Every structure is written in structure tokens, then in C-alpha cells.
Structure 1
């Protein structure tokens, strides 16, 4: 893979090649990507979606929106650090093509901002709930009407693939979705493969999948434009865009440190116990006098959090440059922080978060509610989508159809299109709106 191609400014529908050196320096093409994402309704919807604790009423607990903003900030810093080093290593990128350090930061920041845009209500348990409906629930009735890959898209419903759909799906008046640059779309695609075969290797690319069958052509167009290396002749799979490793690292840094911080602030992790783990990560970097002057838990945690994030940003940038040639050759097979010198400390922090936060009774009880809510919504709208396809709509189906947004388009020709349209609609619901729609379907009149 070549950086000149990987940094493509092309957008959906472009017929002429966009050159970096021709861009308006006051509002570069990659920075426009960030603007388009942050002003989108799908991004705004993340303000009421679960990061760790579903339906939390506590102000300081992160939502998907605040998490995404923080990942984007970390991603921008990480991208700029790497961009500076890359331009020193490959000076022709700046001297001939006009790329600047900030371009790398802008690409990673935009992709990081959008990294959770496809997540359904109730966090990762929402993904599992949708998948369970089709794999083990009433959704099994649709299997005979779908191809194996279409059915697998549903059984392992994937927020990353749903995010690619949101960013790129054309609809009336919005051709090409948000029309992001292909460089940003490439950096967004952490798992550039289709849903089958499932985990054919231990390579990081094969951990999950990154696009639905409905976006296969768009995905292929992006991969071709960027010059991503093809990994298989038997199914659609490519090597990652190198900057996707930085987006992943930014996310890993934030959920490791900031979810841990949420656990402390919620009282799920004892302060003395928690601070010890953070100190282990930044030992030797603490200014003792400044730290001892801090009087509150929040201030002490904030101080250590900032040090920890800065430490891991420097570490991820260093690791990227160490392995840059292997990354470009598609020979680097793991996440950056998986080969970090701080791997043991990171694991300790994550293990505590899993035990005390992710598996706390408060989180689990609300995840159970999320399963029930999403199952009810999928059961009602899934049957309606099937009956629309069969031309056998009931009066109840017609009522459900009438309250769908106009942008939800159903077809008499494709059950897969109908099911995906319903899943997209449900996935965009906030936690609260999913709960309110559930109550409506249960007959609770407000």
C-alpha cells in the first residue's frame, strides 16, 4: 500500500481527482469530514446512547457521544504525532503532494468521531440482542429467504458495519451518505471484510466484519480507490488502512482509562485500589508535589487520567512508526497496544473494569431490559417487513408502517433490504426513544 493513494480526498460521485495541494488551507477536505459527521443527526443521537451504564441519570457518566468526542481528541493528537514522523520519513508526501502533519490528525479525528455512529441502543449488548433475535429468536423464520452472507449480517449484527452503512448509504437528497473522503472512510474501517467466513484467521482484520452485503459495492469502491491490499480471492477482504490502527488505538486508550474513571466516580471501584492501578501505568511521570496538593477523588483521578492518556498516545505513535513498513505490507496482525510495553498494566485496568463495572448488577440489570426492549421492537417490525415483502400486510402492520420515518424505504422485491431498513431504524433510536417505542407497542398510552 502507498501513502499517496491511502490519503485520497475522493468523495462519492467525484469524477475528477482531488489534489491536496489545491485545497483551501482555511478548510481542508479532511476537516470537512469532521464537520459533516458532527452536524449529522446520527451523531447527535449518540448523546442518549449507552457507553458503560445504560440509562444512567448521572451527569459525569459517559455516553456514546462524549466517548466519541474524547476518542476523536485523542485520535487527532495521535494522528498529528504520527503525521509529523511520517513526513520526516517520506518527505515527498509534503514536498510533492502537499500533505501536512495536520492532515493525518484530521483523518484520524474524523474517523474516530464516527467510530461508534452505528452502535444500536444499550451499548454492545444491543448488538448482541439484535443478533440473538435472528440467530435464536423469531428472526430464524427469515433464514430461508436470505443468502448465507445476508443472514450472517443479521446473526452477528455489527455496529462497525452499520456505521459504514450510515456514513455511505445513499437516499433521496443525500447521495453517498455524508460524502466523506475515502481516506476517512478507510481509516474508519477497522474490519475490512464481509461477514462470512467468520474469523478465518487470528489476524486483527478477521476479529469482526466491517460492511453488510448491502454496502458491498461501495466498500469495494473505497478499497480500490485507496489501494488496500486484497487478502483473499475466495471472499471480500482487504488489509486495513494504516490509519485505522490509530483510530483503534485512540478508542482502546479511551475505553481503558475513561471507563475505569467512570467506575471510580460511580463508586463501583474503590478509589485507593483504583489509583494504584493508574499510578502503575504512569510511574515516574507523576509530579509528587502537584499530585499531593489535590484534595478530591475527582481531581486525583483526572490528573492520573491525563498522564495515562498522554503516555499511551506517545506509546501508540512510537509503535506505529516502529511497525510502519509491516503495516503497509499488511504483515502487522494485531492492535498496536497489544504489543505495548504497558500491556500488563492495561490488562489489569481492563480486568478490574470488567469485574466491577461491565458486570456490575446495575449494568447487567439494564442490559436485560435492553434485550427485552429490542426483541419486542424487532419482533413487531421484523414481521411487518416480512409481510410487506410478501404483500400480506395486516392492519397492525399498516399502523406500524405509518409511524416509520419517511426515509425508511421498504421493498416488495427484497426481504433483506426490508430487514436491513428496519434494523437501521431501530439502531438509530436512542436508549430513551427505544424504551418509549417499546412502551407504545406494549399498549402504554401516555
Structure 2
């Protein structure tokens, strides 16, 4: 792969390329990507979607929106620092083409901002709930009517693939989705492969999948424009866009440190653990007098968090540049922080977060409720959509159809896969509260 192709400013849906030197420096194309994502309705719904604690009533626990904003900030720093070093290594990118360090920062920040945009209600348990409906629930009846890859898309419903759909899917009056640059779309794709074969190798890019069968053509177009390296033979699998490693690092840094912080603020993890587990990361930067001068738990945690994030940013960039040539050739097969000298400390922090936060009674009980909500929504909507298509709709089915968006009712009705995908897509866009409210209305709870 080469950086000239990888930094494509061409917008999805365009036919013409865009030249960096012709860009308006006051509003660069990569910065427009950021604006389009942050003003989208799909991004706004993240303010009421679970990060760690479902339906938390506290004001300091992160939602998907605050998490995404923080990941984008960390991503911008990673991109700018790496961009500066890349331009020093390949000066023609700046001297001939006009690229600047901030371009790299804007690309990574935009992709990082969107990295969770496809997540359904109730976080990762929401993904699993959708998958279980098709794998073991009512949706199992559709298996023989779909191709293997179509059925796998539904059984392993993936937020990353759903995010790619949101960013690229055309609809009435909006050709090319959000019409982002190819560079940002490529950087967004952490797992540039289809749902089957499942985990064919231990390569990090094979851990999950990144697009549904309905977006296969869009994916191929982007991969070809950027010059991504093909990895699979018969099945679609490509090497990552190099900057996707920085998006992943930004996400890893934020959820490792900040989910840990949330657990302490919630009282699920003792404050003493913060210093014990973070000290080996911040040892070279911490000023003991300043730390002890801070009087509140929140201020002490904020200080340790800022030092830890700064340390991991610097190290992630160093690792990226050390392996930059292997990344370009598709030979780098793990996350950047897997090469970190703080890997043991990071694993310790994640382990205690899993035990004390992710598996806490409050989280588990709300995830159980989320399963029931999503199962009911899927059952009701898939039955109504399919019955209407087959001409056997009940009055209830017809009422349910009137509650759905126009484009979902009229588009893609001939394909069972697209009908089922449309239902999953619609549910995925619901916030946690909206999903619960819809569930209550279906059950008649608001009228009892």
C-alpha cells in the first residue's frame, strides 16, 4: 500500500478525484468528514446508548456519545503525531502533494468519532441479542431461505458493519450516505472482511467483520480506490488501512482507562486500585506533591487518567512508526497496544473492570432486560414486514407497519435478506430509552 492512495480525498458517491493542493485550507475535506458525522442524527442518538453501565442515572458515567468524542480527541493526537513522522519519512507527501500533519489527525479523528455509530441499544449485549434471535430464536426459521453469508450477517450482527452501512448507504435525497472521503471510510474499517469465513486466522483484521452483504459493492469500491491489499482468495478479505490501527489504539486507550475510572466513580472499584494499577504507566510523569494536593477523588482520578492517556498516546505512535513498513505491506497482525511495554498493566486494568464493572449485578440485570426488549422488537417487526410482503398481514401487523419509517416499508421488499436487514438496521438506530419506550407501547404498559 502507498500513502498517496491511502490519503484519498475523493468523496464516496463522487466520480472525480480531489487534489490536496486544491483544498481550501480553512475547511479541509477531512475536516468536513468530522462535521458531517457529528451533525448526523445517527451520531446524536449515541447520547442515549450504553457504553458500560446501561441506563445509568448518574451524570459522570460515559455514554457512547461521550466515549466517541473522547476517542476522537485521542485519535486526533495520535494522527497528528504519526502524520508528522510519516511526512518526515516521506517528504514528497508534503512537498509535492501538500499533505500536512493535521490531515492525518483529521482522518483518524473522523473515523474515531464514528467508530461506534453502528452500535445498537444496550451496547455489545444488544449486538448479541440481535444475533441470538436469528441463531436460536424465532429468526432461525429464515436460515434455509438465505445464503450462508447473509444468515451469518444476522447471526453475528456486527456494530462495525452496521456503522459502515450508516456511513455509506444511499437513501432518498442522500446518495452515498454521509458522503465521506475514501480515506476516512477506509480508516473506519477495523475489520475489512465479510462475515464468512469466521476468524480464518489470528490476524487482528480477522477478529470480526466489517460490512454486510448489502454493502459488498461499496466495500470493494473503497478498497480498490485506496489500494488496500487483498488477503482472501475466494472470499473478500483485505489488509487494514494503516490509520485504522490508530483508531483502534484510541479506542483501546479510552475504554481501558476511562471505563476503569467510571467503575471507581460508581464505587464498584476501590479508589486505591487506581494508583496501584496506574502507577506503573504514569510512574515517569506523576508529580507526587500535585497528586496528594488534589482533595477530591474525581480530581485525583482525572490527573492519573490524563497522565496515563498521554503516556499511551506517545507509545502507540512509536510502535506505529517502528512497524510502519510492515503495516503498509499487510504483515503487522496485532493491535498496537499488544506491543506495548505496559501490556501487562493494561490487561490487569481490563481484568478488574470486567470483574467489578462489566459483570456487576446492575449491569447484568439491565442487559437481561435489554435482551427481552430487543427480542420483542425483532419478533414484532419481522413478522409484520414479512406478513405484509406475503399478503397475510393481520390488523396488528398493519398497525405496526404504520409506525415504521416510509423508506423501510417501501424499499427492498423483494429480498428477504434486505427486509430482515432493514428491521435490524431500524432497531439499531434506536436509543436505549426509545427502544424501551417502543417495547412498553407494544406491550400496552403505557395504558395500564
How much has 1:284 moved relative to structure 2?
A: 2.2
Q: Secondary structure at the match of 1:9?
A: coil
Q: Tell me, in whole angstroms, the C-alpha distance in 2 between the residues paired with 1:411 and 1:318.
A: 47
Q: Secondary structure at the match of 1:353?
A: helix
Contact in 2 for aligned 1:385/1:415 (Cα 8 Å): no
- How many residues were matched structurally? 446
Q: Secondary structure at the match of 2:86?
A: helix
TM-score, normalised by the number of residues in structure 2? 0.98
Which range moved further: 259-268 or 402-411? Answer: 402-411
How much has 1:364 moved relative to structure 2?
A: 0.5
How much has 1:374 moved relative to structure 2?
A: 0.3
Aligned pairs for 1:39-58 (under 5 A) are: 39-58=39-58
Q: Tell me, in whole angstroms, the C-alpha distance in 2 between the residues paired with 1:392 and 1:18.
A: 51
The aligned counterpart of 1:424 is: 425
Q: Secondary structure at the match of 1:331?
A: coil
The aligned counterpart of 2:142 is: 142
* Match status 1:131 vs 2:127: no
Q: Tell me, in whole angstroms, the C-alpha distance in 2 between the residues paired with 1:182 and 1:217.
A: 14
Contact in 1 for aligned 2:133/2:139 (Cα 8 Å): yes
The aligned counterpart of 1:179 is: 179
How much has 1:383 moved relative to structure 2?
A: 1.2
The aligned counterpart of 1:322 is: 322
TM-score, normalised by the number of residues in structure 1? 0.99
Q: Deviations over 1:278-328 (max 9, x none)?
A: 112211211112111111111110000000000000010000000000000
Aligned pairs for 1:36-435 (under 5 A) are: 36-409=36-409, 410-435=411-436
How much has 1:141 moved relative to structure 2?
A: 0.8
Q: Secondary structure at the match of 1:445?
A: helix
How much has 1:388 moved relative to structure 2?
A: 3.0
Contact in 2 for aligned 1:388/1:411 (Cα 8 Å): no
Q: Tell me, in whole angstroms, the C-alpha distance in 2 between the residues paired with 1:250 and 1:55.
A: 25
Contact in 2 for aligned 1:390/1:412 (Cα 8 Å): no
Q: Deviations over 1:151-186 (max 9, x none)?
A: 000000000000000000000001010000000000
Contact in 1 for aligned 2:189/2:244 (Cα 8 Å): yes
Q: Secondary structure at the match of 1:60?
A: coil
Q: Tell me, in whole angstroms, the C-alpha distance in 2 between the residues paired with 1:203 and 1:412.
A: 37
Q: Deviations over 1:101-160 (max 9, x none)?
A: 000000000000000000000000000000000000010011121111000000000000
Unaligned runs of at least 5 residues, structure 1: none
Q: Deviations over 1:238-280 (max 9, x none)?
A: 0000000000000000000000000000000001123211112
Contact in 1 for aligned 2:388/2:398 (Cα 8 Å): no
How much has 1:11 moved relative to structure 2?
A: 1.0
How much has 1:411 moved relative to structure 2?
A: 3.7
Unaligned runs of at least 5 residues, structure 2: none
Q: Deviations over 1:374-401 (max 9, x none)?
A: 0000010111222233232221111111
Q: Tell me, in whole angstroms, the C-alpha distance in 2 between the residues paired with 1:2 and 1:405.
A: 42
How much has 1:89 moved relative to structure 2?
A: 0.3
Q: Tell me, in whole angstroms, the C-alpha distance in 2 between the residues paired with 1:3 and 1:303.
A: 37
Q: Secondary structure at the match of 1:407?
A: helix
How much has 1:14 moved relative to structure 2?
A: 1.6
Contact in 1 for aligned 2:50/2:121 (Cα 8 Å): yes
Which range moved further: 106-115 or 415-424? Answer: 415-424
The aligned counterpart of 1:439 is: 440
Contact in 1 for aligned 2:169/2:175 (Cα 8 Å): yes
CA root-mean-square deviation? 0.9
Q: Which runs of 4+ in 1 moved over 3 A?
A: 409-412
